[in-house]
Structure 1
Amino acid sequence: MYKDYYVSVIVAAAGMSNRMGSKINKQFINIDNEPILVHTLNKFEESSYIDEIILIAKEEEVEYCRKEIVKKYGFKKITKIIKGGKERQDSIYNGILALDEKCDIVLTHDGARPFVRKENIIDGIKGVIEHDVCVVGVPVKDTIKVVDDIDNVHHTPKRSMLWAAQTPQCFWKSILQKGYEYAINEGIVGTDDSSIVEKAGYEVKMIMGNYDNIKITTPEDLIIAESLLKVDDNLKSKKKTI
């Protein structure tokens, strides 16, 4: 709860994991002896501002999540485990329909993005109250090239205007639901949740995130994740000794 607003988060964990090249869903791969998904869910479970977690899983993994994730690790805020759809967009819509009637603010988050910080969650919730819709992200560091169908450079956009969108993406529930209903009626497919509400006519505010809020997608990302966990553990150890 934040200022009497009921806050929910939809965690999307129904992806195909094709780029990971793993026999199991990447969300269930261990880092620091716990599944990636557990690290992600802990951030929202531990946030005093989050009232409800809706977990989206593949249909064939719903029971696994119930027993091996929710029950095993004692999550209390996960109220529902919902089966995902054909695309991420379908999965999130299933999550929207499952939200508690009391929900005012809803965050959407990638299950494979375990390094979200508590301040990102707080900033996102505050951002909704101030801007209606906001997205955590970071300015890009590299020069970006836009290419044509045969990979010739078409143009080079101004780098200072480019941000890499992350999650959480944060909305008034009513806006996210209207955005998705508009997308369904118009046959729109968005690359993320904020792009869907953009196409429905809403303005989206970018708010500063962190470069370590990576989405674990490829085997190389696992190496980075292990390194980030070591850094985090070292920081926690230093705090305890101070």
Structure 2
Amino acid sequence: MSSKPCCWVVVPAAGVGQRMGAQIPKQYLSIAGRRVIDHTLERFLCHPQIAGIYLALSARDGLWGECEFADDARISRVEGGEQRCHSVLNALRALKHQAAVEDWVLVHDAARPCLSRKDLDHLIDTLINHPVGGLLGVPVHDTLKSVNAEGNVEGTVSREGLWHALTPQMFRIGILHQALESAIHKGALVTDDASAVELAGFQPKMIEGDAGNIKITRPEDLQLAADYLSRSD
């Protein structure tokens, strides 16, 4: 493997964010006077170890051209897919024409704008010599309940060893590409990249990050994200 592998970023942003109930996809909503996706992309564009970003957008997306970084040469647009995993795979297929298989790819949610520079540095520094990769996460602290289809509690689930998975999730490009191809071929529409790598027989490394690295999924998350951004580094 190369002694100095490059770090690339893939941002799947082809979703519509139905739970937000908004007229536009959640990545284009405004926080502190800027679009969510502009906050998100800036985190990587300002980092010296990031070689470039591949952004997966819907073919019908008409809003990206209005964003701050729409003309930034470091960002390559690719067509998104039906599910998140298809969007990531499309981006990896394009990226492999420019990057080496042993390079790193950091896959990050477009609607996760509060990633701190500290967490990004920690993720890269911890994994840069790892054979496979890993992801940011936070331990589960709340009590977990198992609930049936009628909404009745069936039991309490032990939270020992359980973590909330966050992004970025950072893997060798060759490993993630092959893992996603295999998962989708088998009909496993994985909701995060680590799941595909796990199905391929690997054990990603979990790295504790900041709980403030939230994903915007509901209207109340916008104010919460604004609060985190106002205190961010």
Give the alignment's TM-score, normalised by structure 2: 0.90
Match in the other structure for 1:77: 74
- Tell me, yes or no, if structure 1 residue 14 matches structure 2 residue 14: yes
For 1:221 and 1:202, locate their aligned partners in 2 and report how far apart those are by CA, in whole Å. Answer: 33
Match in the other structure for 1:240: none
Match in the other structure for 1:120: 119
- Tell me the secondary structure at the aligned position of residue 207 of structure 1: strand
The one-character-per-residue Cα deviations of 1:87-110 (angstroms, maximum 9, x if unpaired) are: 111111111111143241001000
The structural deviation recorded for 1:157 is 2.9
Residue pair 1:108, 1:168 contacting (<8 A) in 2 also: yes
Residue pair 1:136, 1:206 contacting (<8 A) in 2 also: yes
For 2:158 and 2:128, locate their aligned partners in 1 and report how far apart those are by CA, in whole Å. Answer: 28
The structural deviation recorded for 1:131 is 5.3
The structural deviation recorded for 1:163 is 0.6
The one-character-per-residue Cα deviations of 1:49-102 (angstroms, maximum 9, x if unpaired) are: 1001001111111x532453434xx63421x11111111111111111111432
For 1:189 and 1:107, locate their aligned partners in 2 and report how far apart those are by CA, in whole Å. Answer: 19
Q: How does 1:1-242 map to 2 (within 5 A)?
A: 4-61=4-61, 64-71=63-70, 75-78=72-75, 80-99=76-95, 100-103=97-100, 104-125=103-124, 126-130=126-130, 132-232=132-232
The structural deviation recorded for 1:230 is 2.5
Higher mean C-alpha deviation, range 33-42 or range 180-189:
180-189
- Tell me the secondary structure at the aligned position of residue 160 of structure 2: helix
Q: Which has the higher helix share?
A: 1
The structural deviation recorded for 1:152 is 4.0
The one-character-per-residue Cα deviations of 1:163-216 (angstroms, maximum 9, x if unpaired) are: 100000010111101101211332222121111111111111110110100001
Instruction: Indicate the percent of aligned positions where both proteins have the same amino acid.
Output: 37
- Runs of 4+, deviation exceeding 6 Å: none
The structural deviation recorded for 1:120 is 2.2
The structural deviation recorded for 1:154 is 4.2
For 2:131 and 2:153, locate their aligned partners in 1 and report how far apart those are by CA, in whole Å. Answer: 35
For 1:94 and 1:176, locate their aligned partners in 2 and report how far apart those are by CA, in whole Å. Answer: 12
Residue pair 2:32, 2:226 contacting (<8 A) in 1 also: yes
Which residue type is aligned with residue 214 of structure 1? I
Which residue type is aligned with residue 178 of structure 1? Q
- Tell me the secondary structure at the aligned position of residue 50 of structure 2: coil
In the alignment, structure 1 segments of 5+ residues that lack a partner are 237-242
Total equivalences in the alignment: 228
Which residue type is aligned with residue 87 of structure 1? Q
For 1:191 and 1:137, locate their aligned partners in 2 and report how far apart those are by CA, in whole Å. Answer: 15
- Tell me the secondary structure at the aligned position of residue 51 of structure 1: strand
The structural deviation recorded for 1:128 is 4.9
- Tell me the secondary structure at the aligned position of residue 124 of structure 1: helix
The one-character-per-residue Cα deviations of 1:104-134 (angstroms, maximum 9, x if unpaired) are: 1001000000011123222322325225220
Give the alignment's TM-score, normalised by structure 1: 0.87
Which residue type is aligned with residue 115 of structure 2? V
